Amino acid sequence: MNNFQPWLFRVASRPEVAGGHIRRCVTLSQALRDYAPSIFVLDKGGEAWLSKLRQLGFTAVIEGDEPDTEWAGSVLDGYDFGANYAKQLSQLAAPLVVIDDFLAPLSGAHLAINPAPGLEGSDIDGVPALLGSRYALVDERFSRPPPPVCERVTRVLITFGIRDGTNATCLALEAFADRPNDSTIPHISVLLGPNAPYLSMVRKAALPLRDRCNLIIDTDDMIGLLRHTDLVIGAGGVSLLERMASGVPSITVPVSDNQEHAAHGAARCGGTLGTQRRDRLTASELSRYIEVLSSDFDARKSMSEKARSMVDGRGAARVANVMLRLSTSSQNALQ
């Protein structure tokens, strides 16, 4: 199957938007690469992503600079695109595929994707849909066989996205600093981007932990970082699916509405330990979650196995196959 017309990827990419939209669209584009090229169309203000996408071998432009071409179809990923925009995109580049985290795909969508663990079915209110963690858009390399789960938690990773706009990182650091027995505190790595709005506060919050805390400013090797981690404390977006594929036990703190389905679904299926939302969670409560999971080797081992069984790293290939068939059917209907 060959389709040399490009797919248009319209991706939320403003500086205040986390990088999850870009990451999952890159993964999907890589799965399509052998059959059709992809062109990324970014927000005005999203220029920082241009060079990174081009280094990966993709064409990337800012909205308004789209090439005049025939399209194989389009992918829309972001929360601020309204129904009118979706309709226009559907008319420009059908079929329209919407990556939808709210189970409410925009009008005009020909296919919706929601990879939240635990979801089932084949449509959302009549829109054909790929639902559940079989369709998780994570790099297949995350699913390489992981190291055995360690009996003791000695290495913890705190990661709430490159921006962490809710400052959940400081809450997690406070949860460790408040633990009464300092000898039980593991080595902690904190991952943030260089433009995270609360970076200075995170540096200050790390001081009580002294040499037990290491601040990592961005990384191109999340896969390697997870392979050297015993426990992750993080958000409920794309990074949750990545650590599930990696088999790393985790505590998941939803930080926004769009993360609720994935975080709660993964927790119900045993793939993570879920907490209350960030705005309702205290440091002492999070500390108790950490203590419970850290002290239960059997629970962490079971969590690793269940998480890997749910996210196998082949979700992007499954989605790409459906998209290619949908595009071929759409073009045949026009002939």
Mean pLDDT calculated for residue range 204-229: 93
66-118 pLDDT per residue, tens: 999 999 999 999 999 999 999 999 999 999 999 999 999 998 999 999 999 99
Residue 280: helix, strand or coil by DSSP? Answer: helix
By the 8 A CB rule, do 20 and 86 touch? no
Closest among 108, 86, 83, 112 to 97, alpha carbons compared: 112
Angle at 56 between CA 51 and CA 60, to 5 degrees: 50
Q: Given this model, what pLDDT does residue 18 score?
A: 82
**What pLDDT band is residue 330 in, cutting at 50, 70 and 90?**
confident
The highest-confidence range among 14-23, 100-109, 202-211, 317-326, by mean pLDDT, is: 317-326
The tokens describing 214, both together, are: 């290491």
Mean pLDDT (the chain, rounded): 94
Mean pLDDT calculated for residue range 42-46: 96
Q: Given this model, what pLDDT does residue 331 score?
A: 67
281-321 pLDDT per residue, tens: 999 999 999 999 999 999 999 999 999 999 999 999 999 99
Mean pLDDT calculated for residue range 32-53: 96
By the 8 A CB rule, do 94 and 5 touch? no
By the 8 A CB rule, do 251 and 157 touch? no
In this chain, the answer to whether the domains covering 7-137+313-334 and 141-310 adopt an identical fold is yes
Would you give the DSSP letter of residue 228? Answer: T
Identity of the amino acid at 150: C
Mean pLDDT calculated for residue range 152-174: 96
Instruction: Give residues with Cβ within 8 angstroms of 175, minimum separation 6.
Output: 283, 284, 286, 287, 290
Q: Cα separation of 113 and 129, whole Å?
A: 6
The tokens describing 115, both together, are: 């990879």
Domain 7-137+313-334 is found in CATH 3.40.50.11190: yes
Q: Given this model, what pLDDT does residue 56 score?
A: 95
Domain positions in the chain? 7-137+313-334, 141-310
Residue count of the chain: 335
Q: Cα separation of 118 and 104, whole Å?
A: 17
Q: Given this model, what pLDDT does residue 1 score?
A: 42
Q: 93 burial class (0-12, 13-18, 19+ CB within 10 angstroms)?
A: buried
* CATH of range 141-310; options 3.40.50.2000, 3.40.50.10300, 3.20.20.10, 3.40.50.300: 3.40.50.2000
235-287 pLDDT per residue, tens: 999 999 999 999 999 999 999 999 999 999 999 999 999 999 999 999 999 99
Question: What does pTM read for this prediction?
Answer: 0.94
Q: Cα separation of 293 and 74, whole Å?
A: 42
Specify which residues 234 forms β-bridges with.
159, 252
126-155 pLDDT per residue, tens: 999 999 999 999 999 999 999 999 999 999
Q: Given this model, what pLDDT does residue 165 score?
A: 94
Mean pLDDT calculated for residue range 319-324: 97
Q: Cα separation of 322 and 263, whole Å?
A: 26
By the 8 A CB rule, do 97 and 109 touch? yes
